[in-house]
Amino acid sequence: MKSLSEQLANLSVRAKNTEDVVAAAQKQAHDKVVASVAQAQATAEQAVQKVNQNLQSASDTASVRWNGLKAKIAADMNDLKSKVDQRKHDLSVKRAANYSQLLDEDASFAVDYAIASIEQAKVAVLDAIAGHLEVEKAKRAAA
């Protein structure tokens, strides 16, 4: 398992990559953006699979807490797949504009959710560090 510092660095790199992809997509033709969406979908599915693998390898005591997260991941995957299917339909201009607005709202929510997740991860990392420091303090007190 990677260290928390390595995981945070990876998260930072992925966030920057997402920012770069979005900036580039705004300048690309529709076909290139659709191809980028397909690639992002595949990458997201791989990331979800990795999270699922990590969750499955968690200890029994921790797995109870992660059941809710596993359900959320499954729901998110189903949502991603349904969005891909929905995009494949021919849409009228008005419907396309409405759908585009919904996608903007979904993207905004996803970014807000990611920010909240990062903040929760920060609390978890700091809690872990505090736990390690408490162990060291207890060892010194026992000595």
What does the chain look like in DSSP terms, one character per residue?
---HHHHHHHHHHHHHHHHHHHHHHTTS-HHHHHHHHHHHHHHHHHHHHHHHHHHHTS-HHHHHHHHHHHHHHHHHHHHHHHHHHHHTS---HHHHHHHHHHHHHHHHHHHHHHHHHHHHHHHHHHHHHHHHHHHHHHHHHH-
User: Which has the closest alpha carbon to 128: 45, 5, 41?
Assistant: 5
**Residue 141 confidence (pLDDT):** 92
pLDDT higher at 60 or 47 = 47
- pLDDT category at 139 given cuts 50, 70, 90 is very high
Q: Which of 113, 100, 28, 21 is nearest to 69 (CA)?
A: 113
**0.85 surpassed by pTM:** no
Residue 60 has pLDDT above 60, yes or no: no
What radius of gyration do the chain's Cα atoms show? Answer: 20
Report the mean per-residue pLDDT for the chain: 79
95 has pLDDT over 80: no
So what's the pLDDT on residue 138?
A: 92
